[in-house]
Amino acid sequence: MRKCCFLWNRGNNGCIICGKILAVLLGVCMVLTGCQGAGEEEKKNSIRIGISLYRGDDIFINNIRNELEEKAKEYEREKGIKVTLDIQDAKGSQNTQNNQVDRFISLGCDVLCVNPVDRMDASVIIDKAMNAEVPVVFFNRQPVEEDMNRWDQLYYVGLDAKETAVNQGKMVVDLYREKPSAVDLNDDGVVSYVLLEGESSHQDSLIRTEWSIRTLKDGGVPIEKITGGIANWERSQASALMEQWLGAYPDKIELVVSNNDDMALGAVDALERAGITGVNVVGIDGTTPGIEAVESDRLLGTVSANKETYANAILELAASRAMGEELPREYPLVDGTYYWAPQEILIRDLGE
């Protein structure tokens, strides 16, 4: 009793005071212990990323998907953090994509990576993400600036469309300057071309069209447009258009400028069916089939995105948001929002 209550000997309320002090000390210990436990629980050992693709059968998007899956495995090995990728195909439907976002949020995804079906309608996705406080990394199809400015947890990874188009035009300009007859096939002083365009509402299609043709003109290539058409990024649609043009303008087409590799390959398909050789076809994206076509001399060239860096930027941005860590310094953001992936010109061997 004496050991227990030293303060009791100093006043009638000694035991009460001693009991209160002990209770306070016990409470402090419990709080400290509780805080330590909470801290340990908050340290994540796994993250879940919801990924919605505008169309899974798009060759470039499929290349990026494959890279994302590989990068997720690398991240797991290097960080010891389990990464679950929930990848869904919107199949060209904005309504389907919106429902996928709802599902991702209901499943507790830490972050969303969205390749928008309709870049003009991204506000619906942003509303859902903001309400749930789930960051979003958009990629490939850039939402309008007004939407991207609505929240500081919105990011975009893609290619600088103007730079891509200038590089595409430069391929033809360089070849023309080195050997005009390799571009002006009939030596009449004019390079007659056709144009294959992506979706009419897609910002990359509009910019690629404008700046590739402007680069040809500024580079001194005497071009004349025969015709053009929208093939919506698709090989089969481009092949059908090219077949029509070859019938309508026999022996006139010398150059095919395509907004992407898939449509460029569609043009090549039509040329090969018709037994026509020598026509220069240029693409954009550096897809696996596109690069193979350059290496086999079926395409003059393509502008290749560094798909490994592209996918890694998406994953690292998403993971940093999911983990509550600083943004990755190796992928610097323009205006704190945009990352432009590096690109390079790939052109066939012109030595022969």
pLDDT > 70 in the chain, percent: 87
Query: What's the rounded Cα separation, in Å, for the pair 278 and 184?
Result: 10
| DSSP 8-class letter at 75 | H
Whether residue 30 has pLDDT greater than 70: no
Query: What's the rounded Cα separation, in Å, for the pair 124 and 133?
Result: 14
Whether residue 214 has pLDDT greater than 60: yes
- Mean per-residue pLDDT, 112-131: 96
Count the neighbouring beta carbons within 10 Å of the beta carbon of residue 329.
8
CB 143 within 8 A of CB 122: yes
Mean pLDDT of the chain: 89
| Predicted local confidence at residue 287, as pLDDT | 94
Predicted structure pTM score? 0.82
Whether residue 154 has pLDDT greater than 60: yes
State which H helix or E strand residue 52 sits in: strand 46-53
| Predicted local confidence at residue 10, as pLDDT | 37
Amino acid at 43: K
Closest by Cα among 297, 292, 279 to 348: 297
- Furthest C-alpha separation in the chain: 117
Query: What's the rounded Cα separation, in Å, for the pair 82 and 127?
Result: 28
Q: Which two tokens stand for residue 31?
A: 């709080």
Contacts of 107 (CB under 8 A, 6+ apart): 48, 50, 86
Task: Give me the phi and psi of 102, to 5 degrees please.
Answer: -55, -45
37-91 residue pLDDT tens: 334 345 789 999 999 999 999 999 999 999 999 999 999 999 999 999 999 999 9
Q: Which two tokens stand for residue 96?
A: 């389907």
| DSSP 8-class letter at 285 | B
Amino acid at 79: K
Q: How does DSSP assign 172-185, residue by residue?
A: HHHHHHH-GGGTST
CA angle 196, 307, 229 (to 5 degrees): 5
CA distances 292 to 131, 167, 289, 297, 346, Å, are 45, 19, 5, 9, 11
State which H helix or E strand residue 255 sits in: strand 255-258
| Predicted local confidence at residue 352, as pLDDT | 53
| Predicted local confidence at residue 139, as pLDDT | 97
Task: Give me the phi and psi of 296, to 5 degrees please.
Answer: -95, 10
